A and B are shown apart, each in its own frame.
Chain A
């Protein structure tokens, strides 16, 4: 049971504010914002998503820099409220096409309309974009997508936070195309976030893939869809330890540790032929989430070498090698490394002829940053950084620096080898042939090499 819902901008302005039950004093948004902003004096810790001030419980999630907040006085399920906030953000995005401060401000009346139907007197009624369509009458005012950062082929996956990879398209589910006709199409994205930790000697300490099959359908008439996955897919790793790397070789069956499915998915024949059938509701939703700790080949190898060069100097050599096929290109790669806090200067040396690379020494938090626009499979890049210290390091550099972390996006690549073998749409007529897009993308979640 929710008392209030509001959305705050990064500066703490109310963009939308809805009071459902009148139990929480009006100043709650301010109280909340002050609390979040000054959680710890040193600013080193983020406010947790749930906290209690004077008997009022505040829940919040961050979506594209906005704070989606709910308050209540009741001892509710935190998962339910946080999930709901996330879902409200998704519904709004389904309607507006693009979710950001600008689009919210332009469409706040529509958002209020949605909120009235999503929650009544604090009780959730529905969060289905599909169901909401029949209750909601405002038309979205579409914000100019061109004003956002240029949308490259993979940049579309880069919106949203890292943990909630973005969306297929920036098109509202209700707005019509300029021509007045809707284009029949369906997007299926296999998005994998990978986490790998390498030991200082290059061994893989832990690795995990968190994957989502995300769908966004613009098909009229809600036809049934069948998604076929790998035949050899198996779920659940029997008795043995989950981390028994030796027992599972690099090739062979795809073994998921566990997975879950969207409401609409029917698993009647899943056990037999690994096929999911569903009637996709409007809007964006995850068909299936999965988790895998089976060994996989990490896309990048990172090599770090630190050499002391005199009492107040050292050289760091970073090598990144792309271990995937040359037909594939990773982009927006960033390599970061915390340096000893007594580092005062860093000068960089890239390989001769390097293009699309940038280097930076972040003075404030003593961090080295190396950005590479793209990395083609099979290639290797090196960065040399000469560091100057304000005090002697006593041979302790490795304890004061690192670990090296890496972020990247690799389109048309997936580490788990989970595949959508085919995407079948129940036919209405022989002429009916909607566009189907099946896309793969792999992102770094936590990709760390210790030194």
Chain B
């Protein structure tokens, strides 16, 4: 007989539903059902195979249920298995027929052959029919006590299946308690592993309604259980090892010895060929050492080589998963990977998803010592036949240029791109040159010379065109042809489809007008007329605004459109450090691949084993949900504001009619984050209560747009004076536990004084200083320019703690602080104390 699947190769919508085939099969199965002729099992096998192949390609064969069950009275295990597969698939939609199978499945559960017992029990539990649960309890109870480990293994998962069909039946039968005992007594490691999986799932689901379940769930993280499992880790198979390691990563060690014991025990897991085991081990190492900065750095050094080996030993898909994690680590600690940059060079035959990640890593690890090599390599990719990667490479060069201090060589390369005569290269390079000029105005002379040679006809992409137009407006005094090029562009106004380009054109021609009035006047008139007639609301509004402004007072208009500008020092980061930390907490999960914390892409009941501790999760989410609103919007706002629409930004500020807004923080070289994000953050922070935050965030955005609405309707009353305990004591374990449990109350950035930076030659200097202000250090580490500190303080009158993580980058003179507090209402007050203490550092 021909293999059945063969004839069913392409199930397309046009495919027959298989009705006639099904009725055909039905009659054949009937004939065989009662037969005891020799060789009947073989014929049955063929028929069953056919049924299952139909099932696979999506033909509904549920009509055969009765016949299939009749035929399953056999001792042939292959037939039995096929029948079980079939029954498991259709029982749910045929609950009445499913009852037919109970009988023979129950009988099989008592078969002599443990294989049959196990298979029958598995199928019985897979029926997923709620009104049959009463038949499950008995066989499951026996299965858990079976002498054969295969049956027990199946039974444990069976309990979990039962829980999902009917939670109350499962709990009432006391199965979780039985599993708990089995987990620590069973001799078979897979039974133990399944117990752990089942208990995690059951107790996590129960925890929201039952105190006891949540206690039990915490109990899984207790030292005896974790140690018990870890000590046996080599006996588990590799997948179960991952499970145990995942549990261990959540364990809160009691002291440093605990930490080192676990790390020594797991050291050799880093040499495992299975990447999942290695990553799970790394997660344990990273999380255990979070509070020990020095050891944490050593862990990075230790895991580097195994990770790089995993990247190159597996399939491209596996490399991708590992690279995503490496990417996360590189972003956290670029300096540790900066000498390994060649590992992130792209290979020509790698899939683009791998190449993209590598380009991001190259950008992250670039520093003074390796920039030249990295940029040289990136320039090779820019000429690549793979156009998306060529574009990404050029962007990467630009990013590196924007983050470096010494950009001479890079600017030259970028200008070479402009001369490469490939449309997409020119387009990308134009956008970059524009950003570069905003940061390094001193390069304008060189850049303008090259940009002036580019024919605007060759630039079609809206972003690039907008960038070119911006430069024409901004540097019209240096570009001979600027007014005429703009004029040409305005003549073809109607053919310009991108509103963004038209907006830029309006602004550019305005700027040009103030610099070279006689040459531009005609073009300006044409542009304003075209703009006023434009169907796009924004374009129309801007044209009208300019028109009125000019009417009102030309010199005011000039100050509005052509103010002196300061260079942008740092372009805003699109991801808050809070989100980055969240992702790091969820190491070895999809969060890392998607670069989003799990709450952004999973619904609550599917957070999975990573959101183990519900209360903790709730706490931090509660503290954060408002923050999310803010950050999500902030990202959006940033995307809009940041790089491209410089002029829009200017307009936005102006529209308040406040000229002095030009010294506004957007161009303030001393601010770290662009003020956009600061203005957004502060109102959200100053009021830690939940409701009303969203509106505040919206208000803040409005404010960003300069609509002049007061940000916070009523400032909170000033908190009472906070006094700190001068000799506060906190042991590291408590600190670590609190750090895990408490949500971040405040997260701020702060600029250090130059004296402070000068004094910060070693971490110890700052420690002594802060001690003088009743703020104790519990851990510190790092080398210039990156230092990390954990501080704590206590209220003078009551045992209420403040915990601080402070990361100082001495080259940018910035301190990033995260404050957690037992009493959150006073965290702002504490933050003030902390900042004032920090500001006095280094000041004699």
Which positions in A face B, CB cutoff 8 Å? Answer: 1, 11, 13-17, 19, 22-23, 40, 44-50, 52, 55, 57, 60-62, 73-80, 82-86, 105-106, 108-109, 112-113, 116, 120-121, 123-128, 134-135, 137-138, 141, 161-164, 195, 197, 206, 208, 210, 212, 236, 241-243, 257-263, 286, 288-291, 338, 365, 394, 396, 399-400, 403, 405, 445-446, 448, 450
Contact = CB atoms under 8 A, between A and B. Distances in A.
Contact of B321 (A82, A135, A394): A82
A128 B239 CA distance: 11
17 contacts: A14-B57, A44-B388, A55-B606, A76-B590, A77-B588, A79-B318, A80-B242, A80-B276, A82-B317, A106-B3, A108-B52, A109-B48, A163-B319, A260-B271, A286-B313, A289-B313, A399-B383
Given A55-B603, A76-B589, A260-B309, A13 B11 contact: yes
Interface centre among A62, A121, A127, A290 (most CB of B within 10 A): A121
A263 B315 CA distance: 19
A49 B309 contact: no
Q: With a 10 A CB-CB cut-off, give which of A40, A49, A141 has the most chain B CB atoms.
A: A49
Interface stretch (B339-347, B500-508, B690-698, B776-784): B339-347
B14 interface: no
Interface in B384-417: 385-388
B353 A61 contact: no
B242 A445 contact: no
Contacts of B316: 49, 163
Nearest to A135: B115
Contacts of A106: 3, 5
B29 interface: no
Interface in B530-574: none
A45 B352 contact: yes
Contacts of A291: 308-309, 312-313
Interface stretch (B152-160, B466-474, B479-487, B796-804): B152-160
A197 B321 CA distance: 25
B318 A55 contact: no
B78 A405 contact: no
B10 A11 contact: yes
Closest 3 pairs between A and B when the two form their complex, measured CB to CB? A446-B347, A74-B608, A49-B317
A242 B342 CA distance: 9
B601 interface: yes
B594 A445 contact: no
Given A75-B598, A82-B320, A258-B308, 20 more contacts: A14-B57, A17-B56, A22-B92, A23-B606, A44-B352, A46-B353, A52-B590, A55-B606, A74-B602, A77-B588, A82-B317, A82-B321, A108-B49, A108-B53, A123-B194, A210-B312, A338-B385, A394-B421, A403-B348, A405-B348
A398 B310 CA distance: 35
A259 B272 CA distance: 9
Nearest to B234: A263
A277 B128 CA distance: 46
Contacts of B115: 134-135
A391 to B, nearest CB: 11
Interface string B257-288: 00000000000000111111011100000000
Given A77-B279, A197-B345, A261-B273, A112 B237 contact: no
A109 B52 contact: yes
A206 B345 CA distance: 9
A109 B238 CA distance: 26
Contact of A55 (B11, B49, B601): B601
A109 B3 contact: no
A55 B606 CA distance: 9
A72 to B, nearest CB: 8
A50 B590 contact: yes
Contact of A163 (B9, B49, B314, B588): B314
Given A55-B606, A112-B85, A260-B273, A78 B190 contact: no
Interface string B329-355: 000000000011010010111111100
B742 interface: no
B462 interface: no
A261 B5 contact: no
Nearest to B588: A77
Contact of B606 (A49, A73, A163): A73
Given A14-B58, A79-B275, A57 B160 contact: no
Contacts of A448: 347-348
B706 interface: no
Q: Chain B: interface secondary structure?
A: helix
Nearest to B272: A260
A55 B599 CA distance: 11
A338 B317 CA distance: 26
A242 B305 CA distance: 11
Interface string B588-622: 11111110001001110011111100000000000
A140 to B, nearest CB: 12
B100 interface: no
Contacts of B153: 120, 125
A108 B11 CA distance: 16
A137 B115 CA distance: 11
A13 B588 CA distance: 32
Contacts of B272: 260-261, 263
Contacts of B380: 403, 450
Count chain A CB atoms within 10 A of each CB in B56, B201, B246 and give the residue with the most. Answer: B56
Nearest to A338: B385
Nearest to A49: B317
A126 B385 contact: no
Contacts of B6: 105
B5 A108 contact: yes
A242 B593 CA distance: 28
B82 interface: yes
Contact of A242 (B52, B339, B609): B339
B762 interface: no
B10 A105 contact: no
B11 A14 contact: yes
A423 to B, nearest CB: 19
A303 B421 CA distance: 27
B122 interface: yes
B68 to A, nearest CB: 14
A137 B81 contact: yes
A126 B237 contact: yes
Contacts of A164: 315
Given A121-B160, A260-B272, A83 B318 contact: yes
Nearest to B274: A83
B525 to A, nearest CB: 40
Contacts of A22: 92, 128
Contacts of B92: 22
Q: Quick one: which of B115, B122, B194, B353 has the most chain A CB within 10 A?
A: B353
Contacts of B3: 105-106, 141
A242 B338 CA distance: 12
A405 B349 contact: yes
A389 B70 CA distance: 74
B746 interface: no
Interface in B137-190: 150, 153-154, 157, 160-161, 190
Nearest to A131: B237
A48 B58 CA distance: 27
Given A48-B353, A262-B273, A121 B308 contact: no
B313 A138 contact: no
Given A14-B56, A126-B190, A210-B312, A46 B352 contact: yes
B586 to A, nearest CB: 7
B271 A121 contact: no
Contacts of B319: 163
A148 B327 CA distance: 41
Contact of A60 (B128, B317, B345): B317
B376 to A, nearest CB: 9
A77 B589 contact: yes
Given A112-B52, A236-B305, A450-B380, A83 B276 contact: yes
Given A45-B352, A55-B602, A257-B305, A50 B56 contact: no
